[in-house]
Amino acid sequence: MCNGLHIFPICVVLVSLTTFCVTYILSVWRKDVNPVLPYISDTGTTPYESCLFSFFLNLSAIGAFCTMYIRYRWVRLVSHEERSLRCYNILGLLLGWLSALGLGLVANFQETNLKGVHMTGAAMTIGCGILYMYLQTVLSYKMADTLSLSRVRLLMAIFCTLTATSFLIATVVAKSLRSSTTDTLHWETSEKGYAAHVTAAVSEWLTCIVFLLFFTTFVQDFKRTTASLSFHINTIAEGEGIKV
């Protein structure tokens, strides 16, 4: 029997947030980015920060993958395989895993090297992640979870939707206004689109932080959950061999 499953969502949150903070401090200290809230990916695109960024976000992606699977199995047990919840649960697991896969792409393909793959991963992480939040909220209400917890999940999902929309709009505006000579890692306050860039960066940080904190809403449920692992070995009786 294995207890302590709540450590998975806690580790996802702590490892991810610590990674963002450490790479931000390092990138500012090494003057790889401007200190006024760069994009999260900007802080992990240049060596040596990129090495830490990739390694620890890979751990976060694996942790998120495990957390989402545990949540899926938890819902199955609590709902007693109720048909009306089964589709929501399976769809939530698939979207969650796509979000975790997107985080892996963000970690391993830096924006300055393979921007297309990096942006695809970011879209998967945020887009599928927000849909995952809504599906888990729906499951909470349908399973009659604690009303306050269900409301918290709903508010977090709505907040991420608003900040992600703000990020998308502000990013498009900043890109359309900036000049061809703009160093995207070192925006200057005098450049056109600077305000939109800062707005996009703030929105991105808020979206990612709240999305990560969403995992903490699983902690209490996982604390009262145990998992078991069993091995079965089929032995060959003495005298039996491989017949040719």
pLDDT in tens, 67-123: 999 999 989 888 776 777 888 999 999 999 999 999 999 999 987 778 889 899 999
Percent of the chain clearing pLDDT 90 (strictly above): 52
Residue-level pLDDT at 59: 95
pLDDT for residue 19 is more than 50: yes
Residue 174 structure tokens: 């900043």
d(CA 212, CA 14) in angstroms, rounded, equals 9
pLDDT band at 142 (very low <50, low <70, confident <90, very high): confident
- Give pLDDT, residue 225: 67
Confidence of residue 165 (pLDDT cuts 50, 70, 90): very high
Domain ranges for the chain: 7-223
Contact between 91 and 83 (Cβ < 8 Å)? no
Residue type, 158: I
CA distance 155 to 160: 9
CB atoms within 10 A of CB 7: 15
Cα 9 to Cα 71: distance, rounded to the nearest angstrom:
10
- Read off the pLDDT of residues 170-217 as tens digits, 9 standing for 90 and up: 999 988 887 766 667 777 777 788 889 899 999 999 999 999 999 999
185 closest CA partner among 25, 8, 41: 41
* Region 30-59 average pLDDT: 88
Query: Quick one: how far is CA 207 from the chain centroid?
Result: 10
- Helix, strand, coil proportions of the chain in percent (round to 5)? 70, 0, 30
- Give yes or no for residue 135 having a pLDDT over 80: yes
Q: What is the pTM of this model?
A: 0.87
Neighbours of 239 (CB within 10 A): 5
Least confident of 17-21, 34-38, 60-64, 117-121: 34-38
What per-residue confidence (pLDDT) applies to 207? 96
